[in-house]
Amino acid sequence: MFELLGTLIQRPNFVVFVILFLWGIYIMAAHPNLVKKLIGLYIVQTSVIFFLVAFSAKDGATVPIILANSGLVDPMLYANPLPHALTVTAIVVQIATLGVSLALVSAIYRRFGSLDEDVILEQLK
């Protein structure tokens, strides 16, 4: 038990990721309001992006641009660019998803006059 606590305290980023991830899933599953479900989805996606950023963080590292006169490169001095590139792409995907989902939500609101899932499911029957 204490060992587990010790490991958790050493990995605050990971704990934050897990909390955000589960929180988002909870909101997606529990809230009947469609926009709140979207917020839940957004939190889940953001938590994964946080995970990507957290593991690629490096103390005292700088931007990975190698100049012609840099000489022999020590990789420890540079941040790893790949996770950041992934993060940017993942954010773009996330925004695209948000755009499509908001379009759907507004269409649902115009059609059913409500954002409450229970009310909408009642009308679907």
Interface positions with another protein (CB under 8 A): 25, 28, 34, 37-38, 41, 44-45, 48, 51-52, 55, 82-83, 86, 89-90, 93, 96-97, 100-101, 103-105, 107-108, 111-112, 120-121, 124
Token pair 């379009």 is found at: 103
With beta carbons less than 8 A apart as the criterion, state whether 61 and 47 touch: no
User: Whose Cβ is closer to another protein: residue 19's or residue 104's?
Assistant: 104
CA distance 107 to 113: 10
Q: How near is the Cβ of 112 to another protein at its closest, in Å?
A: 8
Burial degree of 17 (CB within 10 A; 0-12, 13-18, 19+): buried
User: How far apart are the two ends of the chain, measured CA to CA in Å?
Assistant: 50
Q: How near is the Cβ of 42 to another protein at its closest, in Å?
A: 9
**Closest to 112 (Cα-Cα) out of 122, 102, 99:** 122
For residue 116, report the phi and psi dihedrals to the nearest 5 degrees.
Answer: -85, 125
User: Whose Cβ is closer to another protein: residue 77's or residue 121's?
Assistant: 121
User: Whose Cβ is closer to another protein: residue 77's or residue 88's?
Assistant: 88
Q: How near is the Cβ of 48 to another protein at its closest, in Å?
A: 5
User: Whose Cβ is closer to another protein: residue 16's or residue 48's?
Assistant: 48
